Amino acid sequence: MAIKNFDELIKKIKKIEKPKKVVVVCAHDKHTLEALGKAEKEGIIESILIGNKNRIKELLKSIVFEKSEDSIIDSGSDTEAAYRAVELVRCHKGDFIMKGKIQTADLLKAVVDRDKGLRGDKIMSHISFLEVPTYHKLLAVTDGGMVISPGLEEKKQILENAVEIFLSLGYENPKVALLAAVEKTNPKMSESVDGEALKKMNLNGEIKNCLVEGPISYDLAICKKSAEIKEYSSPVAGDADILVVPNITVGNVLAKSLVYSGKAKMAGFVAGAGVPIVLTSRGASSEEKYLSLVLCAALFHSDI
């Protein structure tokens, strides 16, 4: 099952009877509250807001979003808010976490805390889902937000995180493209070497539940016509679900280029922390935050 666009995902998630609960860290942020208000009114999520309680209440009033007193928790600092959110999730009072007006590092410090955090054995990686006007289904890019310069083993775990997310969304065998500038292995281009190695891992069963192609260039991964012209044969060509990038810079530039120059819509979160973490950039719109909430809620319902 391939999800064509966010509207399709929204329609399906609205059919779910019981909304998931998100815990918001430093919720005194207008765009964050606007996104929460929309998702909550649609019955997609419920929320617990942590942060400057007076400021949160002022913002809620300005956007006409009503919350009960017991769903707003006052905190004296960003650090306190982050640890309180993690604690609520650990106690099963929340299903996932959303970043509000807090520095990413301060939030993640609480998440990865050895004794009080949520981190498991997996690498934490960022995955962006994009609805690109010129592509026939949702496209994922990873990792453009967490791991700066991954080696082979890190790329394997980033790939596996993304595949697990797709399986949670109901996909059976997502198609993965290991991006490089060329389709042939070049010892001077580490991403091509890693792409070939990861494809072999998939073929020998070490990487499961997906179809991996690499190294493969971006044009071949998303355009069947380009693949035909170059006589490149692969079931992934022109039909990729997941694009695994060489490093954080490529991922960040690719996703933002598709949004700002290609008019794509984007949603994103961090995987590998035990629960999803909605972690959008400071410049993200309320729509991007809303779509990220929808996506994280959908992860709990593989039957959508």
Res 9 pLDDT > 80: yes
- 103 and 8 in a common domain: yes
CA distance 29 to 294: 19
> Which of 148-157, 241-250, 274-283 has the lowest average pLDDT?
274-283
304 band by pLDDT with thresholds 50, 70 and 90: low
Share the mean pLDDT of the chain.
Answer: 93
- 83 and 22 in a common domain: yes
CATH code for position 216? 3.40.718.10
Res 281 pLDDT > 80: no
> Could you tell me which residues come within 8 angstroms of residue 24 by beta carbon, excluding any fewer than 6 positions away?
32, 36, 47, 48, 49, 50, 51, 85, 97, 98, 100
**Each residue's pLDDT tens digit, 112-125:** 998 899 987 889 99
- 140 and 107 in a common domain: no
- 228 and 243 in a common domain: yes
State the pLDDT at residue 303. Answer: 57
- 166 and 266 in a common domain: yes
- 102 and 30 in a common domain: yes
- 134 and 169 in a common domain: yes
Res 58 pLDDT > 90: yes
State the pLDDT at residue 18. Answer: 85
- Which tokens belong to 284? 């993200």
CATH code for position 7? 3.40.50.10950
pTM across the whole model? 0.94
- 135 and 260 in a common domain: yes
Res 90 pLDDT > 60: yes
- 146 and 32 in a common domain: no
* Total Cβ atoms within 10 A of residue 266: 25
- 30 and 5 in a common domain: yes
State the pLDDT at residue 22. Answer: 97
* Burial degree of 196 (CB within 10 A; 0-12, 13-18, 19+): middle
* Total Cβ atoms within 10 A of residue 263: 11
Q: 101 or 304: which carries more pLDDT confidence? A: 101
Residue 93 belongs to domain spanning: 1-120+273-304
State the pLDDT at residue 57. Answer: 95
- 107 and 24 in a common domain: yes
- 221 and 130 in a common domain: yes
For range 249-276, the mean pLDDT:
95
Q: 15 or 196: which carries more pLDDT confidence? A: 196
| Overall number of domains in the chain | 2
